[in-house]
Amino acid sequence: MRVVIVGLGVQGRKRLAVAGADVVATVDPVAPEARYQAIEEVPRDAYDAALLCTPDQAKLALMRFLLAQGKHVLVEKPLLADEEHIRQLAASARAAGVACYTAYNHRFEPHLVRLKSVLEAGTIGPVYLMRGFYGNGTARDIQQSPWRDQGLGVLADLGSHLLDLVLWLLGPLPGPFTLWQGNRFENRAFDHVLFGSMGKPAIVLEGALVSWRNAFALDVYGSRGSAHVHGLCKWGPSHFILRRRVLPSGKPTEDACTLECPDPTWALEYQHFRQLCVQRGATVDNDLWINRALNGMVCEIEEVSGTFPALKSV
């Protein structure tokens, strides 16, 4: 498969590394090493797919152009838009017979894959509660970015990852999701949020750009036990713990596994995307649920402040 990398920032360079010999061109309006400055300059018959690693505001127009050309598209998360625009993108992909995929690489994290298998097997019983934390210390980096410190901030950045994991692990829960706390400790946009859903199961999620040591934790509690993922491979080590409940009460039995290895998610996700291109069966339908959750929280913010920008995109 012949691919074009659009955007040579941090994510674009990661995609470039894993796509390797598949890459036939790079596009970036400012990076001096890019071969082209605009996707329209790349000969249409020179590539089959594009990996979009651009600022959020550029994504929709690029996706429309590429799908109209019959190209497969991988776009970096989050894909922020209203439902109608997302439905139009999905319809365009189906009409062209191409894959259109929003990248959430944590679905390929080894211990999260293991957690999914535990949940699908019913090992811990019906799920009562999922609690997640995702934090890094990038507040100053984002503050100094000309485009990242705006909108929903960490709620869209890391919060979208947490919402995608809820969707992937538990399915499209009805919600609604509520923003319980949003802070701007250092940044113009949120650099810390606490949000979730008090349905069944209950979901409690927290994202932070002011966690000076990078941290990730996902804890799932069910009627027969609990499962826990602490740490990601990119930061190493990553721990998986499975606990089985003792009735009527007492210390649970426990199985634990620790994994320390280079981050495999980028290469695994790229191989997944290549397979989707062969199958021509992926669209951005998952983004409908994620955007509903985010837009619901945006509406709450607007009701309180009257000034917060919504996710509506053109």
Task: Give Cα 49 distance to the centre of its chain.
Answer: 20
Predicted pLDDT at 175: 80
Question: Could you say which residues of the chain have pLDDT below 50?
Answer: 304-314
Is 304 inside a domain boundary? Answer: no
Predicted pLDDT at 98: 96
pTM of the model: 0.93
244 & 172 share domain: yes
Predicted pLDDT at 307: 39
Is 303 inside a domain boundary? Answer: no
Is 152 inside a domain boundary? Answer: yes
Q: Cβ atoms within 10 A of the Cβ of 77, count? A: 20
Is 290 inside a domain boundary? Answer: no
71 & 163 share domain: no
Count the domains in the chain.
2
Residues 65-110: tens digit of each pLDDT? 999 999 999 999 999 888 899 999 999 999 999 999 999 999 999 9
76 & 187 share domain: no
Predicted pLDDT at 300: 62
Is 292 inside a domain boundary? Answer: no
Predicted pLDDT at 302: 52
Range of the domain at 142: 106-263
Nearest by Cα to 182 from 143, 163, 209: 209
120 & 217 share domain: yes
121 & 213 share domain: yes
250 & 278 share domain: no
